[in-house]
Structure 1
Amino acid sequence: MKKTVYLSLILLLACLLTECKDTATSFSPGPGDSRITGTWQLVERYFSKDSVKSILTEVLVPRSYTILVGNPPVEKDTLITEKDTVFVKRDTSFYTTKYYSTTPAQTLTFGTDGQLTPSGSEMTYYAPIKYYRVDTTYPDSLFVNFFISTNRATIPFKQRLVVQQDMLMLLTNCNQTLPCYSKFVRVK
Protein backbone atom coordinates (compact mmCIF):
# COMPACT_ATOMS: atom_id res chain seq x y z
CA MET A 1 0.00 0.00 0.00
CA LYS A 2 2.83 2.42 0.93
CA LYS A 3 4.60 1.73 -2.37
CA THR A 4 1.45 2.60 -4.30
CA VAL A 5 1.03 5.90 -2.44
CA TYR A 6 4.69 6.82 -3.01
CA LEU A 7 4.51 5.83 -6.67
CA SER A 8 1.33 7.89 -7.12
CA LEU A 9 2.97 10.88 -5.42
CA ILE A 10 6.06 10.60 -7.63
CA LEU A 11 3.91 10.40 -10.77
CA LEU A 12 1.88 13.42 -9.67
CA LEU A 13 5.06 15.45 -9.05
CA ALA A 14 6.50 14.38 -12.39
CA CYS A 15 3.30 15.49 -14.17
CA LEU A 16 3.39 18.85 -12.38
CA LEU A 17 7.05 19.40 -13.23
CA THR A 18 6.49 18.68 -16.93
CA GLU A 19 3.77 21.32 -16.93
CA CYS A 20 6.22 23.99 -15.65
CA LYS A 21 7.11 26.21 -18.55
CA ASP A 22 8.97 29.46 -18.92
CA THR A 23 6.17 31.92 -19.67
CA ALA A 24 8.53 34.84 -20.28
CA THR A 25 8.17 36.06 -23.82
CA SER A 26 11.21 36.83 -25.91
CA PHE A 27 12.14 40.51 -25.99
CA SER A 28 12.13 42.24 -29.35
CA PRO A 29 13.18 45.88 -29.67
CA GLY A 30 11.73 46.11 -33.16
CA PRO A 31 13.52 46.71 -36.45
CA GLY A 32 16.96 48.32 -36.52
CA ASP A 33 17.54 51.85 -37.76
CA SER A 34 18.93 51.93 -41.31
CA ARG A 35 21.38 54.73 -40.36
CA ILE A 36 23.35 52.44 -38.09
CA THR A 37 22.59 48.85 -39.16
CA GLY A 38 25.70 46.99 -40.23
CA THR A 39 29.16 46.40 -38.79
CA TRP A 40 31.21 49.23 -37.32
CA GLN A 41 34.90 49.02 -36.40
CA LEU A 42 36.34 50.87 -33.41
CA VAL A 43 39.08 53.29 -34.49
CA GLU A 44 39.40 55.74 -31.57
CA ARG A 45 38.33 56.09 -27.97
CA TYR A 46 38.60 59.03 -25.54
CA PHE A 47 38.12 57.91 -21.94
CA SER A 48 39.07 58.36 -18.32
CA LYS A 49 41.93 56.13 -17.22
CA ASP A 50 41.49 55.34 -13.54
CA SER A 51 44.54 55.39 -11.36
CA VAL A 52 45.13 55.57 -7.62
CA LYS A 53 48.55 56.13 -6.13
CA SER A 54 49.54 55.73 -2.50
CA ILE A 55 51.98 58.34 -1.22
CA LEU A 56 53.90 58.12 2.05
CA THR A 57 53.06 61.35 3.90
CA GLU A 58 53.77 62.83 7.30
CA VAL A 59 50.67 64.11 9.08
CA LEU A 60 50.01 65.68 12.46
CA VAL A 61 47.79 63.46 14.58
CA PRO A 62 46.21 64.69 17.82
CA ARG A 63 46.29 62.09 20.61
CA SER A 64 44.77 62.37 24.04
CA TYR A 65 46.63 61.20 27.14
CA THR A 66 45.88 61.09 30.84
CA ILE A 67 48.81 62.28 32.95
CA LEU A 68 49.40 62.68 36.66
CA VAL A 69 50.08 66.26 37.80
CA GLY A 70 50.91 67.78 41.21
CA ASN A 71 51.35 66.53 44.74
CA PRO A 72 49.16 64.64 45.62
CA PRO A 73 48.94 63.39 41.98
CA VAL A 74 45.79 64.31 40.11
CA GLU A 75 44.81 62.83 36.76
CA LYS A 76 44.56 65.40 33.99
CA ASP A 77 43.54 64.83 30.35
CA THR A 78 45.77 66.47 27.78
CA LEU A 79 45.94 66.61 23.98
CA ILE A 80 49.33 66.25 22.30
CA THR A 81 49.90 66.59 18.56
CA GLU A 82 52.46 64.16 17.16
CA LYS A 83 53.91 63.49 13.73
CA ASP A 84 52.89 60.20 12.13
CA THR A 85 53.75 58.63 8.78
CA VAL A 86 50.83 57.22 6.79
CA PHE A 87 50.03 56.17 3.24
CA VAL A 88 47.51 58.53 1.64
CA LYS A 89 45.67 57.42 -1.51
CA ARG A 90 45.55 60.05 -4.23
CA ASP A 91 43.37 59.91 -7.33
CA THR A 92 45.71 60.30 -10.27
CA SER A 93 43.11 59.57 -12.96
CA PHE A 94 43.53 61.24 -16.32
CA TYR A 95 41.88 61.37 -19.74
CA THR A 96 43.50 59.69 -22.70
CA THR A 97 42.85 58.92 -26.37
CA LYS A 98 43.50 55.42 -27.66
CA TYR A 99 43.69 54.58 -31.37
CA TYR A 100 42.94 51.09 -32.72
CA SER A 101 44.36 49.30 -35.74
CA THR A 102 42.27 47.14 -38.07
CA THR A 103 43.72 43.94 -36.62
CA PRO A 104 42.52 42.52 -34.36
CA ALA A 105 39.11 43.89 -35.33
CA GLN A 106 37.07 45.53 -32.57
CA THR A 107 33.54 45.69 -33.96
CA LEU A 108 29.90 46.28 -33.11
CA THR A 109 27.26 44.85 -35.43
CA PHE A 110 23.84 46.51 -35.33
CA GLY A 111 21.41 44.00 -36.82
CA THR A 112 18.32 44.86 -38.85
CA ASP A 113 16.29 42.96 -36.22
CA GLY A 114 17.47 45.20 -33.34
CA GLN A 115 20.17 42.85 -32.08
CA LEU A 116 23.67 44.03 -31.13
CA THR A 117 26.73 41.80 -31.51
CA PRO A 118 30.10 42.93 -30.09
CA SER A 119 33.36 41.34 -31.24
CA GLY A 120 36.89 41.85 -29.92
CA SER A 121 38.65 42.21 -26.59
CA GLU A 122 37.97 45.97 -26.36
CA MET A 123 34.20 45.47 -26.73
CA THR A 124 33.65 43.91 -23.28
CA TYR A 125 31.60 46.97 -22.24
CA TYR A 126 29.02 45.98 -24.86
CA ALA A 127 29.13 42.20 -24.14
CA PRO A 128 26.03 42.08 -21.87
CA ILE A 129 24.00 44.12 -24.37
CA LYS A 130 21.88 42.01 -26.72
CA TYR A 131 19.48 44.55 -28.23
CA TYR A 132 19.30 48.20 -29.26
CA ARG A 133 16.77 50.73 -30.50
CA VAL A 134 17.46 54.22 -31.82
CA ASP A 135 15.49 56.79 -29.81
CA THR A 136 14.54 59.91 -31.77
CA THR A 137 12.20 61.45 -29.20
CA TYR A 138 14.58 64.32 -28.55
CA PRO A 139 14.22 66.84 -31.40
CA ASP A 140 17.81 68.07 -31.61
CA SER A 141 19.78 64.97 -30.70
CA LEU A 142 19.91 61.28 -31.35
CA PHE A 143 20.14 58.59 -28.67
CA VAL A 144 20.37 54.83 -28.73
CA ASN A 145 18.79 52.65 -26.07
CA PHE A 146 20.87 49.60 -25.25
CA PHE A 147 19.03 46.74 -23.55
CA ILE A 148 20.62 44.43 -21.00
CA SER A 149 18.67 41.25 -20.21
CA THR A 150 19.21 39.85 -16.74
CA ASN A 151 17.04 37.85 -14.32
CA ARG A 152 14.14 37.84 -16.83
CA ALA A 153 14.15 41.64 -16.94
CA THR A 154 15.25 43.76 -19.86
CA ILE A 155 16.75 47.05 -18.68
CA PRO A 156 17.45 49.92 -21.10
CA PHE A 157 20.10 52.59 -20.78
CA LYS A 158 20.68 55.56 -23.09
CA GLN A 159 23.79 56.67 -24.85
CA ARG A 160 24.15 59.66 -27.13
CA LEU A 161 24.72 58.80 -30.77
CA VAL A 162 26.26 60.81 -33.62
CA VAL A 163 26.11 59.44 -37.17
CA GLN A 164 27.89 61.24 -40.03
CA GLN A 165 28.11 59.27 -43.30
CA ASP A 166 30.44 56.33 -42.52
CA MET A 167 31.41 57.48 -39.00
CA LEU A 168 29.51 56.65 -35.80
CA MET A 169 30.27 58.03 -32.33
CA LEU A 170 28.85 56.75 -29.06
CA LEU A 171 29.19 59.49 -26.43
CA THR A 172 29.23 59.03 -22.66
CA ASN A 173 29.49 61.46 -19.76
CA CYS A 174 32.85 61.61 -18.07
CA ASN A 175 32.47 64.65 -15.81
CA GLN A 176 34.35 67.20 -17.83
CA THR A 177 33.61 69.69 -20.58
CA LEU A 178 34.31 67.24 -23.43
CA PRO A 179 32.32 64.00 -23.49
CA CYS A 180 34.10 60.69 -23.61
CA TYR A 181 33.47 58.81 -26.84
CA SER A 182 34.02 55.70 -28.90
CA LYS A 183 34.46 56.41 -32.63
CA PHE A 184 33.65 53.74 -35.23
CA VAL A 185 33.86 53.53 -39.04
CA ARG A 186 31.48 51.48 -41.16
CA VAL A 187 32.83 48.15 -42.33
CA LYS A 188 29.76 46.66 -44.03
Structure 2
Amino acid sequence: ATSPRARPSATHNYFRSANFLRFLRGVTIVPYLVSGVATAVMFRLLFNEEFGQVNRTLEFFGIEGPSWFASPILAMVATIIAQVWSDLPLAVLLLLGGLQTIDPSLLDAADVDGASGWHRAWKVSIPLIAPQLALATVWFSYSTLTSLGVVLALTGGGPVDATRILPITLYETAFLDLRTHEALAIAIVILAFNAVLTLGYVGISRRYDIGN
Protein backbone atom coordinates (compact mmCIF):
# COMPACT_ATOMS: atom_id res chain seq x y z
CA ALA A 1 0.00 0.00 0.00
CA THR A 2 1.11 3.55 -0.63
CA SER A 3 2.24 5.26 2.54
CA PRO A 4 0.80 8.68 3.44
CA ARG A 5 4.27 10.17 3.07
CA ALA A 6 4.52 8.96 -0.52
CA ARG A 7 1.25 10.51 -1.66
CA PRO A 8 2.53 14.09 -2.04
CA SER A 9 5.37 12.85 -4.24
CA ALA A 10 2.90 11.04 -6.48
CA THR A 11 0.86 14.24 -6.72
CA HIS A 12 3.97 16.22 -7.62
CA ASN A 13 4.84 13.70 -10.31
CA TYR A 14 1.34 13.97 -11.78
CA PHE A 15 1.48 17.75 -12.02
CA ARG A 16 4.92 17.51 -13.60
CA SER A 17 3.82 14.91 -16.16
CA ALA A 18 4.14 15.75 -19.85
CA ASN A 19 0.42 15.29 -20.56
CA PHE A 20 -0.67 17.63 -17.78
CA LEU A 21 1.90 20.27 -18.77
CA ARG A 22 0.81 20.13 -22.41
CA PHE A 23 -2.81 20.55 -21.35
CA LEU A 24 -1.94 23.47 -19.07
CA ARG A 25 0.06 25.22 -21.79
CA GLY A 26 -2.80 24.79 -24.24
CA VAL A 27 -5.36 26.25 -21.84
CA THR A 28 -3.04 29.06 -20.80
CA ILE A 29 -2.38 30.26 -24.34
CA VAL A 30 -6.10 30.75 -25.14
CA PRO A 31 -6.22 34.46 -24.14
CA TYR A 32 -3.45 35.17 -26.66
CA LEU A 33 -5.74 33.91 -29.42
CA VAL A 34 -8.34 36.56 -28.57
CA SER A 35 -7.86 40.14 -29.72
CA GLY A 36 -8.03 43.04 -27.29
CA VAL A 37 -11.35 44.26 -28.69
CA ALA A 38 -12.87 40.78 -28.51
CA THR A 39 -11.65 40.48 -24.93
CA ALA A 40 -13.30 43.79 -24.08
CA VAL A 41 -16.60 42.70 -25.65
CA MET A 42 -16.48 39.39 -23.78
CA PHE A 43 -15.93 41.04 -20.40
CA ARG A 44 -18.47 43.73 -21.19
CA LEU A 45 -21.02 40.94 -21.58
CA LEU A 46 -19.81 39.08 -18.50
CA PHE A 47 -20.16 42.18 -16.32
CA ASN A 48 -23.39 43.40 -17.92
CA GLU A 49 -25.76 44.69 -15.24
CA GLU A 50 -28.88 42.98 -16.60
CA PHE A 51 -27.82 39.67 -18.12
CA GLY A 52 -24.12 39.32 -17.33
CA GLN A 53 -22.97 36.00 -15.94
CA VAL A 54 -21.18 37.68 -13.03
CA ASN A 55 -24.34 39.35 -11.74
CA ARG A 56 -26.36 36.20 -12.33
CA THR A 57 -23.92 34.28 -10.18
CA LEU A 58 -24.15 36.91 -7.45
CA GLU A 59 -27.95 36.79 -7.59
CA PHE A 60 -27.83 33.00 -7.23
CA PHE A 61 -26.21 33.56 -3.83
CA GLY A 62 -28.74 36.24 -2.90
CA ILE A 63 -26.49 39.22 -3.69
CA GLU A 64 -27.81 42.01 -5.87
CA GLY A 65 -25.53 42.53 -8.84
CA PRO A 66 -24.09 46.04 -9.15
CA SER A 67 -23.76 48.23 -12.21
CA TRP A 68 -20.10 47.53 -12.88
CA PHE A 69 -19.38 50.21 -15.43
CA ALA A 70 -21.27 53.00 -13.66
CA SER A 71 -19.08 52.92 -10.56
CA PRO A 72 -15.48 54.16 -10.86
CA ILE A 73 -14.21 51.56 -8.39
CA LEU A 74 -16.12 48.63 -9.90
CA ALA A 75 -15.18 49.71 -13.42
CA MET A 76 -11.54 49.65 -12.37
CA VAL A 77 -11.98 46.18 -10.88
CA ALA A 78 -13.59 44.86 -14.08
CA THR A 79 -10.88 46.49 -16.19
CA ILE A 80 -8.09 44.99 -14.10
CA ILE A 81 -9.66 41.53 -14.36
CA ALA A 82 -9.97 41.83 -18.14
CA GLN A 83 -6.42 43.13 -18.55
CA VAL A 84 -4.94 40.45 -16.29
CA TRP A 85 -6.80 37.74 -18.20
CA SER A 86 -5.41 39.13 -21.45
CA ASP A 87 -1.83 39.31 -20.14
CA LEU A 88 -1.87 36.12 -18.09
CA PRO A 89 -0.48 33.61 -20.63
CA LEU A 90 3.11 34.85 -20.70
CA ALA A 91 3.28 35.16 -16.92
CA VAL A 92 1.87 31.66 -16.42
CA LEU A 93 4.24 30.18 -18.98
CA LEU A 94 7.17 31.89 -17.25
CA LEU A 95 6.15 30.48 -13.88
CA LEU A 96 5.41 27.07 -15.36
CA GLY A 97 8.85 26.99 -16.92
CA GLY A 98 10.37 27.92 -13.58
CA LEU A 99 8.46 25.19 -11.75
CA GLN A 100 9.70 22.62 -14.25
CA THR A 101 13.30 23.48 -13.40
CA ILE A 102 12.85 22.61 -9.72
CA ASP A 103 14.65 19.42 -8.80
CA PRO A 104 11.98 16.91 -7.65
CA SER A 105 14.39 15.61 -5.02
CA LEU A 106 14.09 18.94 -3.20
CA LEU A 107 10.33 18.54 -2.93
CA ASP A 108 10.72 14.91 -1.90
CA ALA A 109 13.19 15.97 0.79
CA ALA A 110 10.67 18.51 2.06
CA ASP A 111 8.06 15.75 2.20
CA VAL A 112 10.39 13.54 4.20
CA ASP A 113 10.99 16.40 6.63
CA GLY A 114 7.24 16.65 7.16
CA ALA A 115 6.73 19.99 5.42
CA SER A 116 3.15 20.91 4.58
CA GLY A 117 2.09 21.97 1.11
CA TRP A 118 2.22 25.63 2.16
CA HIS A 119 5.73 25.29 3.58
CA ARG A 120 6.94 23.46 0.46
CA ALA A 121 5.62 26.28 -1.70
CA TRP A 122 6.89 29.12 0.53
CA LYS A 123 10.27 27.68 1.49
CA VAL A 124 11.20 25.67 -1.62
CA SER A 125 9.22 26.47 -4.76
CA ILE A 126 8.80 30.25 -4.52
CA PRO A 127 12.48 31.03 -3.77
CA LEU A 128 13.55 28.82 -6.68
CA ILE A 129 11.26 30.57 -9.17
CA ALA A 130 12.12 34.07 -7.94
CA PRO A 131 13.61 35.04 -11.35
CA GLN A 132 10.42 34.05 -13.15
CA LEU A 133 8.29 35.87 -10.59
CA ALA A 134 10.35 39.01 -11.08
CA LEU A 135 10.10 38.79 -14.87
CA ALA A 136 6.34 38.20 -14.68
CA THR A 137 6.03 41.34 -12.54
CA VAL A 138 8.06 43.32 -15.07
CA TRP A 139 5.87 41.99 -17.88
CA PHE A 140 2.61 42.97 -16.17
CA SER A 141 3.99 46.45 -15.46
CA TYR A 142 5.12 46.87 -19.06
CA SER A 143 1.77 45.69 -20.41
CA THR A 144 -0.11 48.09 -18.14
CA LEU A 145 1.93 50.99 -19.46
CA THR A 146 1.55 50.12 -23.13
CA SER A 147 -1.76 48.30 -23.62
CA LEU A 148 -4.61 50.24 -25.18
CA GLY A 149 -7.10 47.95 -26.90
CA VAL A 150 -8.73 46.24 -23.91
CA VAL A 151 -9.23 49.36 -21.78
CA LEU A 152 -10.24 51.60 -24.67
CA ALA A 153 -12.85 49.15 -25.96
CA LEU A 154 -14.09 48.17 -22.50
CA THR A 155 -14.54 51.52 -20.77
CA GLY A 156 -12.98 54.20 -22.96
CA GLY A 157 -11.27 55.48 -19.83
CA GLY A 158 -14.50 56.08 -17.92
CA PRO A 159 -16.50 56.49 -15.89
CA VAL A 160 -15.24 59.96 -14.92
CA ASP A 161 -11.74 59.01 -16.10
CA ALA A 162 -11.49 56.26 -13.47
CA THR A 163 -9.86 53.84 -15.90
CA ARG A 164 -7.93 56.37 -17.95
CA ILE A 165 -4.38 55.19 -18.52
CA LEU A 166 -1.47 56.88 -20.27
CA PRO A 167 -1.97 55.09 -23.62
CA ILE A 168 -5.57 56.35 -23.77
CA THR A 169 -4.43 59.88 -23.01
CA LEU A 170 -1.76 59.54 -25.69
CA TYR A 171 -4.28 58.24 -28.23
CA GLU A 172 -6.83 60.99 -27.59
CA THR A 173 -4.22 63.74 -27.50
CA ALA A 174 -2.58 62.64 -30.74
CA PHE A 175 -5.49 61.45 -32.88
CA LEU A 176 -8.57 63.20 -31.53
CA ASP A 177 -7.25 66.53 -30.28
CA LEU A 178 -4.33 66.61 -32.76
CA ARG A 179 -2.01 68.09 -30.13
CA THR A 180 1.08 66.36 -31.43
CA HIS A 181 3.61 68.09 -29.17
CA GLU A 182 1.74 67.09 -26.01
CA ALA A 183 1.30 63.58 -27.38
CA LEU A 184 5.03 63.38 -27.99
CA ALA A 185 5.70 64.39 -24.38
CA ILE A 186 3.36 61.65 -23.14
CA ALA A 187 5.05 59.13 -25.42
CA ILE A 188 8.44 60.11 -23.98
CA VAL A 189 7.13 59.53 -20.45
CA ILE A 190 5.86 56.08 -21.45
CA LEU A 191 9.19 55.37 -23.13
CA ALA A 192 11.05 56.38 -19.96
CA PHE A 193 8.95 54.03 -17.84
CA ASN A 194 9.53 51.22 -20.32
CA ALA A 195 13.26 51.92 -20.31
CA VAL A 196 13.32 51.53 -16.53
CA LEU A 197 11.44 48.24 -16.81
CA THR A 198 13.81 47.05 -19.53
CA LEU A 199 16.81 47.85 -17.34
CA GLY A 200 15.14 45.91 -14.55
CA TYR A 201 14.68 42.95 -16.88
CA VAL A 202 18.33 43.11 -17.96
CA GLY A 203 19.43 43.27 -14.33
CA ILE A 204 17.32 40.25 -13.41
CA SER A 205 18.61 38.33 -16.42
CA ARG A 206 22.23 39.01 -15.52
CA ARG A 207 21.75 38.21 -11.87
CA TYR A 208 20.20 34.82 -12.54
CA ASP A 209 22.02 34.11 -15.83
CA ILE A 210 18.74 33.76 -17.69
CA GLY A 211 19.29 32.62 -21.24
CA ASN A 212 22.81 31.29 -20.60
Q: Between Structure 1 and Structure 2, which shows a larger proportion of strand residues?
A: 1
Computing the radius of gyration over CA atoms, which structure comes out larger, 1 or 2? 1
TM-score range for the pair, normalised by the shorter chain length = under 0.3
TM-score using structure 1 length: 0.19
